[in-house]
Amino acid sequence: MDWKSFWGEGMELTKEEREMLEGKQGNAVKKSMEILVALGEIYGAKRLIGIESVQIAGVSYHNLGDAGLEYLAELAKDGKARVLTTLNPAGMDLKDWKKLGISDEFAEKQVKVIEAFEKMGVTVTCTCTPYLIGNLPLYGQHIAWSESSAVCFANSAIGARTNREGGPSSIASALTGKTPEYGLHLEENRQAQVKVKVNAKIDTVPKFGAIGKVVGERIGNKIPLIEGIEKATLEQLKSLSASIATFGGTALFHIKGITPNRTSEPRESIEVSEREITQAIESMSDTEEIDFVGVGCPHASIKEIQEIAALLKGKTVKKEFWVCTARQTKELADKMGYTEKIEKAGAKIAADTCMAVAPIKGKYRGMMTNSAKASYYAAGHNAFKTKIGSIRECVEEATK
Partner 1 sequence: MKLRGRTISKGKAEGEALVSKEAISFYGGVDPETGIIVEKGHFLEGKSIAGKILVFPQGKGSTVGSYAIYRLKKGGKAPKAIINKECETIVAVGAIISEIPCVDHVDIEKIKNGTKVRVDAENGVVEF
Judged by CB under 8 A, the chain residues 1 through 40 that form the site for partner 1 are: 1, 3-7, 31, 34-35, 38-39
Kindly state the helix (H) or strand (E) to which residue 76 belongs, with its residue range. helix 61-76
Provide, rounded to whole angstroms, the least separation between the CB of residue 32 and partner 1: 10
Q: How far is Cα 340 from Cα 346, in angstroms, rounded to an integer?
A: 10
For position 65 contacting partner 1 by CB under 8 A, the verdict is: yes
> Phi-psi region for residue 337, left (φ > 0), alpha (ψ -120 to 50) or beta?
left
> What DSSP element (H or E) covers 368?
strand 366-369
Distances 257 to 118, 221, 244 between C-alpha atoms, Å: 41, 22, 19
Residue 41 engages partner 1 in binding (rule: CB under 8 A): yes
Contact string 108-147 vs partner 1 (x = CB under 8 A): --------------------------------------x-
Using the rule CB under 8 A, is 70 a contact of partner 1? yes
Residue 105 host element (H or E)? helix 104-119
Q: How far is the CB of 95 from partner 1 (least distance, A)?
A: 25
How crowded is residue 352: how many other Cβ atoms within 10 Å of its Cβ? 30
- Pick between residue 63 and residue 193 the one whose CB is nearest to partner 1: 63
| Least Å from the CB of residue 333 to partner 1 | 30
User: Residue 310, interface with partner 1 (CB under 8 A)?
Assistant: no
Residues 270-299 that bind partner 1 (CB under 8 A): none
Rounded to the nearest whole angstrom, what is the least distance from the CB of residue 375 to partner 1 in the complex?
Answer: 18
Question: Should residue 169 be labelled a site residue for partner 1 when binding is judged by CB under 8 A?
Answer: yes
Q: Of 23, 26, 47, 63, which lies in the binding site for partner 1, with binding defined by CB under 8 A?
A: 63
Please report whether residue 71 would count as binding partner 1 according to CB under 8 A: yes
Please give the Cα distance from 53 to 99 (Å, whole number).
33
The DSSP code for 101 is T
What is d(CA 40, CA 49) in angstroms, rounded to the nearest whole number? 11
Residue span binding partner 1 (CB under 8 A) among the ranges 62-70, 114-122, 289-297, 364-372: 62-70
CB atoms within 10 A of CB 303: 12
Rule CB under 8 A: is residue 238 a binding residue for partner 1?
A: no
Q: CB within 8 A of 231, min separation 6: which ones?
A: 258
Q: Binding pattern to partner 1, positions 146-165, x when CB under 8 A? A: x------------------x
Please state, in angstroms and rounded to a whole number, the distance separating the CA atoms of residues 307 and 314.
14
**The only residue of 20, 57, 215, 255 in contact with partner 1, by rule CB under 8 A:** 57
User: Are the C-beta atoms of residues 318 and 289 closer than 8 Å to each other?
Assistant: no
57, amino acid identity: A
CA dist 306 and 325 (Å) reads 12
- Residue closer to partner 1 by CB (options 6, 362) is 6
**Contacts with partner 1, residue ranges (CB under 8 A):** 1, 3-7, 31, 34-35, 38-39, 41-42, 57-58, 63-68, 70-71, 146, 165-169
